């Protein structure tokens, strides 16, 4: 496998090296190609991402990504939006389930759902007109974009509980009617039981009764917000992995950002990044290796190995190192 490795900014520079140590312990035949992207590169060179960076990523089988800082500067084009669009990775998959013994906000831990977030359009269309008195952002919903994310979610639902929740705001935002109609039709065609929910009341339902949901499909911004919110269900943002999938390319990254408030201290939780590696291995067909990563992670957590966000005393690199050591011993 040829793997592009992007650390990015802030804690990306800490959680990715810890994750690479875990990857290396598996002894797989992987060629790693480092790619520098992000705010740091922008400050240094004047561009956060170049055409060359995109071509390097396209030449690899997939990408492992940390996080980048995006300053609120109208002249700064989001690196992630650029990558998701250039590589046309339309499905953002965010699995959410507890990692015992870590506690989230509920005593119950019998929930396991996946947010399937449309990744290329919606309010993240990048079509903006920024003025001093009026600023607008165009929210784009297309039939094609809605259909392919709906099909992706239906395929996932078929392999799970045959149940789909479509989340939208079509009562007020009329562009969502197209999204809703296309999702309903796709679910009907595939024989999937579906219901639809308005995003505001759904946020309440999801955080208070997550065990009622399985596959959730929604538009770009709603998926972004609902998944960060769901971090509270599992015990923190440092635990949520994600995959960005298209027809040709795939890209794996933690849900969290560059966390400037804790960056540079070696205390960031690397678990979200390590679970993103696990998703990468599954996607690539390394099912046994993915299972070993999960087993090692569970063992570490059960032994109390964790970073301060989970109440532990370990550093980012220690967590990566102990998981890698467990794997090396297990593979002997
Ligand atoms: P954030 O996810 O970076 O941080 C939110 C809070 O969660 C912070 O208090 C942080 O310390 C904590 N946190 C996040 N990940 C953690 C981890 N692994 N271990 C322990 N604590 C963790 O979101 P925020 O603060 O809104 O954004 C910071 C920067 O990251 C911004 O420039 C934003 O644009 C960027 N960002 C980048 C993303 C990406 O590269 N995929 C995604 C989200 C934000
Ligand atoms: Mg986010």
Q: Which atom of ligand 1 is the closest one to the Cα of 273?
A: 18
In a domain, 98, yes or no: no
Instruction: Phi first, then psi: give them for residue 11, nearest 5 degrees.
Output: -70, -10
> Pocket residues for ligand 1 (CB within 6 Å)?
11, 15, 67-70, 80, 237-238, 253, 256-262, 268-269, 272, 309
Q: Are residues 167 and 230 in the same domain?
A: yes
| E strand map for the chain | 2-8, 31-34, 62-67, 91-96, 113-118, 128-130, 135-137, 163-168, 193-198, 215-218, 241-245, 250-254
Q: Domain range for residue 210? A: 103-234
What pTM did the predictor assign?
A: 0.96
* Residues within 5 Å of ion ligand 2, judged at the Cβ atom: 224
Q: In this structure, how many other beta carbons lie within 10 angstroms of the beta carbon of residue 11? A: 31
Q: Are residues 16 and 53 in the same domain?
A: yes
Q: Are residues 124 and 227 in the same domain?
A: yes
Would you say residue 320 has pLDDT above 90? yes
pLDDT for 74: 79
Per-residue model confidence as pLDDT tens digits over 130-169:
999 999 999 999 999 999 999 999 999 999 999 999 999 9
d(CA 107, CA 62): 37
Test site for ligand 1: of 43, 258, 267, 312, most ligand atoms within 8 A of the Cβ: 258
Locate 42 and state its tokens.
């922008």
Total domains in the chain come to: 2
Per-residue model confidence as pLDDT tens digits over 61-96:
999 999 999 998 878 888 998 998 899 999 999 999
257 Cα–ligand 2 center, Å: 7
Q: Is 285 helix (H, G, I), strand (E, B) or coil?
A: coil
In a domain, 97, yes or no: no
């Amino acid at each position: 496998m040829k793997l592009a490795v992007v650390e990015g900014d802030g804690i990306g520079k800490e959680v990715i090296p810890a994750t690479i140590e875990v990857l290396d312990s598996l002894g797989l035949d992987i060629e790693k190609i480092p790619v520098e992207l992000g705010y740091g590169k922008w400050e240094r060179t004047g561009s956060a991402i170049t055409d060359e960076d995109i071509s390097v990523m396209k030449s690899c089988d997939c990408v492992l990504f940390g996080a980048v800082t995006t300053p609120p500067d109208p002249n700064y084009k989001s690196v992630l939006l650029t990558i998701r669009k250039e590589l046309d990775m339309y499905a953002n998959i965010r699995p959410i389930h507890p990692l015992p013994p870590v506690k989230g906000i509920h005593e119950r831990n019998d929930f396991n759902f996946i947010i399937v977030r449309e990744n290329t359009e919606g309010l993240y269309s990048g079509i903006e007109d920024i003025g001093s008195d009026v600023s607008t952002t165009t929210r784009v919903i297309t039939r094609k974009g809605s259909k392919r994310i709906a099909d992706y979610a239906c395929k996932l639902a078929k392999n799970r509980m045959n149940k789909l929740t479509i989340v939208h705001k079509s009562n007020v935002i009329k562009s969502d009617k197209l999204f809703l109609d296309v999702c309903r039709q796709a679910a009907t065609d595939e024989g999937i039981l579906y219901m639809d929910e308005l995003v505001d009341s759904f946020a309440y339902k999801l955080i208070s009764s997550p065990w009622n949901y399985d596959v959730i499909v929604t538009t770009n911004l709603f998926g972004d917000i609902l998944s960060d919110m769901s971090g509270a269900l599992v015990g923190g943002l440092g635990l949520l992995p994600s995959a960005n999938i298209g027809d040709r390319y795939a890209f794996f990254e933690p849900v969290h950002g560059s966390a400037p408030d804790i960056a540079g201290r070696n205390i960031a939780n690397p678990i979200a990044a390590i679970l993103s590696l696990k998703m990468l291995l599954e996607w690539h067909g390394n099912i046994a290796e993915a299972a070993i990563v999960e087993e090692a992670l569970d063992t570490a957590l059960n032994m109390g190995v964790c970073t301060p966000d989970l109440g532990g005393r370990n550093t980012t690199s220690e967590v990566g190192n102990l998981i890698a050591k467990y794997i090396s011993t297990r593979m002997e």
